[in-house]
Amino acid sequence: MTKPASVERGFVPIEEEVTDSAFEVPAAVLCAFCGRSDCPGCFAQDGEPHSGVVAIVPWERPEGGAWSRLWATANAATRGAETFFAAIPDGPVRPALRFAVFAESVAVVSLLLALCALAAAALPRLALEVVLDPGLRHAALRWILVGTPAVVVWMVLAHGLHAVAVEAAARRRGGRPCRRRAWRFGLYACGWDLMTGPVGFAGTLLTAGWRAAAQLCWLSLAVPGMASLCFARGVCALPEPAARRARRWGSAAGTLLAVVTALAVGVLASL
């Protein structure tokens, strides 16, 4: 099959970004040399043609509120994962880490509130007893105050280690070394948990309708493998068979981390 002219010049194909009408902060794609979105391939100072195309993550833009930038980035990383992670740019890790902590905190707290509401509706007597009994109330608050940050930290590390495993597997198969971009991939992947949780479902339902909200159920299962494959192909520059093997290594690393964590929690609970 004939490749598009943009691919032959070194461009990464950029599809239309996913955005909601309520948040006009799509991920921009600009030339690093001339600043144009339709750049045909600039000539740098060395006289060689360069595509110069970089994706600007909405979270890293100076304009806009924190929530609108958070939502736009999480939305692009989930509903537009193929485009987002195939061209995720290099850059500092600190902004991506702030995004990851913010996104996971919102995701974990919203899920906790939803579970508490369901538990109270299913077991009203037990819920009332927890509220009225000082001992039970303090124990519940202690578990929430300790457990919520612990889960947030674990989720951030899990996403980061998954991405690093994909990059390491890609590098062993001749892919382009990109350890820092792999960490950025993993940290921005925390947007998946925000979008596929209660807040993401409710926000998508209000801004994009039932069909888009229902699609999040499928994306919660498909997007990790899809994004890993696109990262291995687009950023690590691996051919399709090698990229699929790198994706499987990332999935295996994530599964191993989940098993080890479950065993550690079981051991601690039995002490």
DSSP per residue over 194-224, as a string? HHTSHHHHHHHHHHH-HHHHHHHHHHHHHHH
Question: Is residue 55 situated within a structural domain?
Answer: no
At residue 90, the pLDDT reads 86
Domain annotation covers residue 42: no
Q: Is the pLDDT of residue 43 over 90?
A: no
- DSSP reduced 3-state for 173: coil
Asked if residue 41 lies in contact with residue 49, where contact means CB atoms within 8 angstroms, the answer is yes
75 located within any domain: yes
Asked whether 78 and 196 are in contact (CB, 8 A), the reply is yes
How many helical (H) and strand (E) elements, i.e. helices and strands, does the chain have? 11, 4
Alpha-carbon distance of 160 to 222, in angstroms, equals 18
Whether residue 173 has pLDDT greater than 80: yes
Banded pLDDT at 18 (limits 50, 70, 90): very low
Structural domain includes residue 10:
no
Q: How confident is the model over 46-60, as pLDDT tens digits? A: 444 444 444 578 898
Residue with the two structure tokens 């890993």: 228
Token representation of residue 16? 């239309």
Q: Please report the pLDDT score of residue 256 as a whole number.
A: 85
pLDDT for the residue 55: 56
Question: Which is it for strands 53-56 and 49-50: parallel, antiparallel or unpaired?
Answer: unpaired
Task: Check residue 23 and give its pLDDT.
Answer: 39
227's tokens: 């994004």
* Residues contacting 244, CB < 8 A, separation 6+: 229, 232
Given a contact cutoff of 8 angstroms between Cβ atoms, the answer to whether 197 and 107 are in contact is: yes
What pLDDT, on the 0 to 100 scale, is given for residue 4? 43
Question: Residues 2, 5, 10, 12: what is their CA dihedral angle, to the nearest 10 degrees?
Answer: -80
Summarize the confidence of residues 110-127 as an average pLDDT: 92
Taking residues 27-31, report their average pLDDT: 46
Please give the residue that has the higher pLDDT: either 11 or 97: 97
Model pLDDT, residue 269: 65
Whole-number mean pLDDT of the chain?
Answer: 81
d(C-alpha 18, C-alpha 16), whole Å: 7
Return the C-alpha torsion angle 235, 236, 237, 238, nearest 10.
Answer: -140
- H/E stretch holding 108 reads helix 93-122
pLDDT for res 154: 93
Provide the residue range defining the domain that includes 249.
66-270
Task: Give the model's pLDDT for residue 35.
Answer: 42
Tally of domains within the chain = 1
Question: Cα 173–29–62 angle (5° rounding)?
Answer: 110
pLDDT single digits (tens) 191-242: 999 999 999 999 999 988 999 999 998 998 999 999 999 999 999 999 999 9
